[in-house]
Amino acid sequence: MFENSGMMRVNYLLERGLDVESMRRRVIANNIANVDVPHFKRSEVNFESELRRVIDFNQGQDGRYPGVVTDPRHIPFYVERDIRSVTPRVNLDYNTTMRNDGNNVDIEKEIVDTAKNQMRYNAMVTGLSNNFRMLKIAMRQI
């Protein structure tokens, strides 16, 4: 019962977000480390767009039309996905080039992404800490 509460779903999303931000930090560090390597292509982590798609789908906000399945052998139009099934993906950016040697790492963008990453990580840690504090207060009252 408690595992399916709103607070635990938020905690799960915050924990997953921390994992993603840690992965994003490693990818950004790899991009910065290879800024001078010829023909190196930068990577980026995609997670939030897929998570948004699953959340919208589960809430029925994606504009889908229900299909009627009259036989169990029919393939359903939409398959419900759990938030826990969403995983981050590391994508290479093959389409751009910043310099003549084929490298596409822009150090200024990577530094800005590092700052954004750190702010998101700190916000998630604060949110998780507040949730655990609330849980601790609730357990004292029992």
Q: Does 98 reside within a domain? A: no
Tally of domains within the chain: 1
Q: Which element (helix H / strand E) includes 11?
A: helix 6-33
Buried-state track 15-51, b at ≥16 Cβ within 10 A, e below 16: ebbbebbeebbebbeebeeeeeeeebbbbebebeeeb
Tokens 């004292």 — which residue?
A: 140
Structure tokens at 83: 């938030």
CB count within 10 Å of CB 131 equals: 15
Cα→Cα distances 32→98, 104, 106, Å: 14, 11, 9
pLDDT of residue 3: 65
pLDDT of residue 21: 95
Q: Does 35 reside within a domain? A: yes
**What pTM was computed for the model?**
0.79
pLDDT of residue 63: 60
Q: Whose CA is closest to 113, among 47, 41, 27, 36?
A: 27
For residue 6, the enclosing domain spans 2-81+103-141
> For the chain, which residues score pLDDT lower than 50?
1
